[in-house]
Amino acid sequence: MKKIPADASFIKVKCGDCSNGQVIFVKAASKVLCLACGSTLANPTGGKAEIKGEFVGVVE
């Protein structure tokens, strides 16, 4: 599993349930849901969000 770089702001993750690819903010302040199936992709933690999907890459 690839590691999310510390300086990343936006990353692409793949939903574990439907394989939808979605760009999310690393420090999301609210829960991020998959736009395709509604599955949780990230949970807010106050800092870097807890990513539930598969990290695909950094979005420049």
Q: Which stretch binds Zn ion (CB under 5 A): 1-9, 27-35, 43-51?
A: 27-35
How many C-beta atoms surround the C-beta of residue 32 within 10 A? 21
Q: How long a stretch of residues is the chain?
A: 60
Q: How far is the CB of 11 from Zn ion (least distance, A)?
A: 16
Using CB under 5 A, pick the residue from 23, 29, 37, 59 that binds Zn ion. Answer: 37
Q: Exactly one of 23, 29, 36, 59 binds Zn ion (CB under 5 A); which one? A: 36
26: CB partners within 8 A, 6+ apart: 4, 8, 9, 10, 11, 48, 49
CB of 26 to Zn ion, least distance (A): 19
